[in-house]
């Protein structure tokens, strides 16, 4: 029988470590000691699910590497050892379901870090819950993931989309001077993370008197010419609630090539330190200058 209560402390610390290792390491002494005292076994197996290969590998690899770092530090200080088993989902719900089944069938596994993406949690969450596995995501933000249907099993260490959406809308209006009567084009990527966040951003912008032009394109697309052509002189900002930073940079390049100068604002899903240049110019922390 999987000891949910006994392992929860360990999983939360590992989840925090995957998102912000400095915080987790600083609190290791008290938090992990309590968790360890609850476990009588000498070794526990923790899973890790995220995109470790593919176009969004940077998100998953950052989380995996921090988790590996934490496990290394944990095992050096405690008698109860932790084994980390990674599962590469590539941010694909179908792969997440398969990995979820594999983890559920692993009788030695007590909990896991992840899944990374909201669409993966939707696919694998019910499987993990049924198997009695607690899971902590470092980056799944869709608001309704915590509406109660996964209560007691799913946790996250990041704000939900309803928080981020409101923050994006406020930043656009308060800091970037998008005002009543202006138009914002919001382009989602047709997945659970993107559509949910865009819905929240749009609703908040509309309460501020901003006109929203909602568009949609598949995350596999690389030709954005038709979307770019829709950006009229009335569009003051373009919001990209995407998860592939390379695509966001490509969109920015195609915009500039067509002479469109609207502000490009990216959500947290397109954070990637590998993409900081556009036509040789450094644009803040992201390929398009702004992030939520």
Q: Which pLDDT does position 273 carry in this prediction? A: 65
Average pLDDT over the chain reads: 81
**Dihedral sign computed on CA atoms, order 63, 65, 68, 70:** negative
pLDDT digits over 115-165, tens only?
A: 999 999 999 999 999 999 999 998 899 999 999 999 989 999 888 988 989
- Is residue 43 within 8 A of residue 82, CB to CB? The reply is yes
For 161-291, the fitting CATH number among 3.40.50.2300, 1.10.3720.10, 3.40.50.1220, 3.40.50.300 is 3.40.50.2300
- What is the pLDDT confidence band of residue 281, given thresholds at 50, 70 and 90? very low
Left, alpha or beta for 223 (phi > 0: left; psi -120 to 50: alpha)? beta
- Is residue 9 within 8 A of residue 37, CB to CB? The reply is no
Question: What are the domain boundaries of the chain?
Answer: 4-156, 161-291
pLDDT digits over 179-189, tens only?
A: 988 999 999 99
Strand, helix or coil at 106?
coil
Q: Which pLDDT does position 38 carry in this prediction? A: 45
Left, alpha or beta for 52 (phi > 0: left; psi -120 to 50: alpha)? alpha
Compute the distance between CA of residue 229 and CA of residue 222 in angstroms, rounded to an integer.
Answer: 15
**How do the residues of the chain divide into helix, strand and coil, expressed in percent and rounded to 5?**
45, 20, 35
Q: Are 4-156 and 161-291 the same fold in CATH? A: yes
Q: Which pLDDT does position 269 carry in this prediction? A: 82
CATH number of 4-156: 3.40.50.2300
Q: Which pLDDT does position 133 carry in this prediction? A: 92
What would the two tokens of residue 65 be? 């590497």
- Cβ neighbors of 221 (< 8 A, separation 6 or more) are 247
Q: Which pLDDT does position 55 carry in this prediction? A: 83
Three-state SS letters, 55-88: CCHHHHHHHHHHHHHHHHHHHHHCCCEEEEEEEE
Residue 279 has pLDDT above 90, yes or no: no
- Least confident range from 15-29, 208-222, 226-240, 260-274: namely 15-29
Residue 103 has pLDDT above 90, yes or no: yes
In the chain, pLDDT over 90 holds for what percent of residues?
A: 53
- What is the pLDDT confidence band of residue 271, given thresholds at 50, 70 and 90? confident
Q: Which pLDDT does position 8 carry in this prediction? A: 42
- Confidence (pTM): 0.74
């Amino acid at each position: 029988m999987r000891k949910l209560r006994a392992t929860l402390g360990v999983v939360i610390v590992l989840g925090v470590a995957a998102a912000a290792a400095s915080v987790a390491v600083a609190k290791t002494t008290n938090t992990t000691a309590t968790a360890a005292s609850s476990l009588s076994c000498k070794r526990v197996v923790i899973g890790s699910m995220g995109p470790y290969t593919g176009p969004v590998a940077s998100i998953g690899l950052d989380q995996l590497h921090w988790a590996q770092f934490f496990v290394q530090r944990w095992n050096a200080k405690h008698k109860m050892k932790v084994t980390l088993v990674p599962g590469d989902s590539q941010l694909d719900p179908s792969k997440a379901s398969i990995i979820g089944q594999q983890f559920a069938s692993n009788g030695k596994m007590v909990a896991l870090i992840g899944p990374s993406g909201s669409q993966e949690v939707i696919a694998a969450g019910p499987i993990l819950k049924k198997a009695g596995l607690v899971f902590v995501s470092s980056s799944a933000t869709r608001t309704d993931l915590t509406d109660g249907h996964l209560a007691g099993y799913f946790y996250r260490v990041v704000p939900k989309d309803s928080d981020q959406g409101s923050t994006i809308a406020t930043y656009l209006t308060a800091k970037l001077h998008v005002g009543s009567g202006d138009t914002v084009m919001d382009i989602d990527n047709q997945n659970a993370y993107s559509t949910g966040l865009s819905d929240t951003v749009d609703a908040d912008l509309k309460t501020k008197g901003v006109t929203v032009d909602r568009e949609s394109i598949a995350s596999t697309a690389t030709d954005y010419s038709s979307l770019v052509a829709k950006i009229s002189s009335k569009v003051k900002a373009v919001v990209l609630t995407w998860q592939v930073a390379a695509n966001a940079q490509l969109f920015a390049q195609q915009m500039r090539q067509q002479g469109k100068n609207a502000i490009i604002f990216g959500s947290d899903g397109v954070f990637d330190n590998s993409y900081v240049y556009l036509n040789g110019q450094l644009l803040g922390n992201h390929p398009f200058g702004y992030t939520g």
